[in-house]
Chain A
Amino acid sequence: MIINHPLLGPRDAAEFVIKGDASLIDRPDWQIENAAEAFHEYLFLRDNPAGEHRELWYHEQGDRSWLVVTRNTLTHEVTRVEMARDVARKARA
């Protein structure tokens, strides 16, 4: 599988480590009232879609950037690759 890194261009998937669902970027606030429930959901509850899925990938054997990769779990087709920091900043704005 080839991941088209936004800064470095196409790179072999062997350089990357998958780090799980992209929703892990949205860490709950630990001070909110239902924090325990929110963290339970954040840590343990995962969607397992057959089709498009957004995932965090870490470029460990490269520039050590975090990416959000949109991938089809049925075909392994990668449709979109973004820098995770850009995704996080956009969500916060």
Chain B
Amino acid sequence: MADMTLTATPALEGYDRTIGTMRLAERTSLSLVSMAIPLDGEGRAATAVRKHLHAELPPATGSTLSSDGSCRIIQTAADQYMAIFEHHNDAFTDLLTNALDGAVYVTDQSDVWVGLSLTGPDAVDALERLCPIDLHDSNFPVGASARTVMEHMGTIILRTGQHDYLLLSARSSAGSFLHAVETSVRYTQP
């Protein structure tokens, strides 16, 4: 029998483009895990996140970074969080298999989202056409996150730097999402 190997294909085939002063690129190596807190299990979950992921549970509109910088946690709903790993690493596998010693319910979300990073001085100009969130520094500082809607598609927006945003949307509509963001970026460039 022939040897078969499965190769993961990124949703947008690794799209990476520089448009004027802006760079729009697919994040192909993100590993995502959603964590739901059992009823009355907030305290135990917070302790377990501290012990295993070396991070705090974030407030509703913020995010926290693990001490080694490999995992960022955002809140996606009341009693629900998402752990975003830069790469498929041991901490990710460990979280999925052990679920922080049973302190949370976990679901592997890596294959159902598409991640786009938007970088450049005109990022806010490009996003203001799409994003209903107030992205002003005072309301959406570096590290802030929100689940919202862009061009009718559900989106999680995370501010990762002064001019650096991570956008997550459904993989099934990745092409439409890229089209919306890319079109908006092009409008901002002469």
Which residues of A are in contact with B by a Cβ distance under 8 Å? Answer: 7-12, 14-15, 61-65
CB distance from A88 to the nearest CB of B (A): 14
Given A8-B61, A9-B139: A63 touches B132 (CB 8 Å cut-off): no
Chain B: interface size category: 10 to 19
Contact between chains at B148 and A9 (CB < 8 Å): no
CA distance A62 to B133 in the complex (A): 11
Give the residues from 32 to 87 in chain B that come closer than 8 angstroms, CB to CB, to chain A: 60-61, 75-78
Docked Cα-Cα span, A64 to B78, in Å, equals: 8
Q: Are B134 and A61 in contact (CB under 8 A)?
A: no
Give the contacts of B137-151 with A (CB-CB under 8 A). 139, 146-149
A12: which B residues are within 8 A, CB to CB?
132
Output the residue of A14, A61, A65 with the most chain B CB within 10 A. A61
The residue that B149 contacts in the complex, of A61, A63, A65, with Cβ under 8 A, is: A61
CB–CB A65/B148 < 8 A: no
B55 to chain A, nearest CB (A): 20
B154 contacts chain A at the CB level, 8 A cutoff: yes
Q: Which 10 A-B pairs have the closest CB atoms?
A: A12-B132, A61-B149, A63-B77, A7-B60, A64-B77, A62-B147, A61-B154, A15-B149, A8-B60, A8-B61
| Bound complex: CA A49 to CA B107 (Å) | 45
CB contact under 8 A between A14 and B132, given known A8-B60, A8-B146, A9-B61 = yes
> Contact check: which of B77, B78, B132, B139 meets A15 at CB < 8 Å?
B132
Bound form: Cα–Cα A89–B163 in Å: 43
List the A side residues contacting B132 at CB < 8 Å.
11-12, 14-15
Give the distance to chain B from A12, nearest Cβ to Cβ, in Å.
4
Q: Is the CB of B139 within 8 A of A63?
A: no
Query: Which residues of A are found within 8 Å of B78, using beta-carbon distances?
Result: 7, 63, 65
Closest CB in chain B relative to A66 CB, distance in Å: 10
Establish whether residues B148 and A15, one from each chain, have CB atoms under 8 Å apart when the complex forms: yes
Q: Cα distance A64–B36 when bound, in Å?
A: 14
Complex contacts, A65 vs chain B, CB 8 Å: 77-78
Residues of chain A within 8 A (CB-CB) of B75 are 63
Minimal Cβ-Cβ distance residue in B for A16:
B149
Q: Which chain B residues border A63 with CB–CB below 8 Å?
A: 60, 75-78, 147
Closest CB of chain B to A72's CB: distance in Å?
Answer: 22
A65 to B79, CA, bound (A): 11
